[in-house]
Structure 1
């Protein structure tokens, strides 16, 4: 069997295993890895405060990480492999550096947020910028989260994705990081960290900067969950992250004094991309819902939240205003083409290297310093939850359709849903063994039945 045929087989194995990007929106990995590349970047920068899942992967699953990189470098033709790790994570660097082959190196990223953004990574590693509205492959680069690379190595061996690496932190007795079954309830995952140490808790699913606030502890871990941050509902961070659109538009309209700090600190603006949050804020003053002349400055926003949670001295919400403006741009057929965006791109800002958001100061700014002295150490979870509820539409692409029915018994790893037809998508696998119950958009598996 030829090497090319083996590699074609790898793409199919990655699809069949249900591998999606573990560091973002859940884009199907089999599509992403079919591109040719000169450089493969393993993203272990881990920007979000209090999360340790990428460092756990690097330190405890090194062999599979490097195997996943080797597979993709052969598949894409990349001659250079780079593992991006923040300088502050010297334990990860010192652990994996002696294990590296000659064609893989470490890139020590600055201790700033958002160093793990693809656009930041590609520029720091290669000196080239991804075209506005484009992808890393446009400049010969493939970026994969370190957990995704481990899942690709496992897929090559026929092992499907049934678990995801999660950090549980915040108002809990014993923060930890572990591989947990997809579909496990938040409440069950949090109980493994001991008691909740605050009244009226809520959970940020993901990170403090870009995760989603969830009030229902019966919600379930998805394939792209990376952290469960338990915080009091009354904390300033939660209050700011849960503003309604009516509130943040009304307050922004009356409170923005056009100081431009949101723009001057925006990571994408500093890289030269055509995003200017202060002009999007100014568009709130126009009479129509969408300003054709001003709100187009929102399209290149990556929603990293630096403008809202770091830069704005008035505690306004440019990030959510940019996000809702992007929605309105699409709805009103004002969305610019990548070529139009690229035409507005400027040179990298001369002050960029001095305006990174220091990771340690960001933790204090967010009100998370009280938790920062507790490391979420690796926890080997041997127990299986009695029940999981797996969302069907937790990944990008076509929503998969169940291939099981209520009353069926499945074993862990079995395919329980597949995307229809030949469109983009990946199957979903049972994360525990048990009896199936179908509900609208979910597949529940009960181990005790």
Structure 2
């Protein structure tokens, strides 16, 4: 009996050793609403910082980015609101309209946590209107040299507006993408995030994406196929419009359309080495209430006391864009590399992360006493320096700081930055 128990224990222990750690990666796609040129709502960077600090994506896919200044602003926001290791892909102005307009007013881009991913290749797929931007990324695993795990991330923005001609242009754009997808391995992991401007699943562009005869067949992880436009039965996947008030930029029709998507290659639903986490697809800020139909996302129609997304989150979303972000999670049985210089520490903690006039900090290591703490805003600008004394509890007046997200960094230290939100 003892031998059986011992053998069982040894086998179980060996099985544990053979199993890789399961890592989860959070993805968000967001239409930024002509950022940064759209300035009807002041300081909307604070709203984006609040949104990103709450969701904490590892991959952040965006469209409607106007210029390199905006791209760099977003990068700084991701570094303060999410993780200092965030990087962005190469900013490239739209090439598709060079022969007839060259306005280059709406670009796509990928931001990513460089401690978890690296970019292997950047590809532009031109159409007659806007580029598909394709990024081949690799997981930073301990065995990536011998067993690389790659994902193709596609960011796009199809032709807007209803009507037969616009639907045809969306279809023709997707055909250009299909031509590119024929050049990559058929078992590739492919993630597509975009503002597809689709009114119904029967549109030829959407049917082409889901066509099983294509080199890469996409799937809708939400599994919500149908006629979405002005159909309250699909309110749970609506993404536009967050607003009914005019003068804020963007569309003002209220919540009635599913324009924004994250699609995965069909294999990522089950058989790939990076797979979709079941039931993780969400429209961030959408509480799936029928009463929200045709309403502003920050109205009482769109949330209750028990709702997942609070008024504060929905108000920030309302202020930043006329679209809601789309999110999902991916998972892989891998062990990530630990080449990360920032280490979690409990040597410095905050009493509260949401503060009004005073910030209380607890210091448990003598090396951080009588030491300056540098405070940065969401754009990475130094806005204050807190000089600590010899007390364990330190209190600092923050009345001079504007509402928004801030980060405390300790100079010449590898401690993880502390984040707090000022709300006067």
Tell me if TM exceeds 0.5.
Answer: no
The structure that is helix-richer by fraction is 1
Write 1 or 2 for the structure with the bigger share of strand: 2
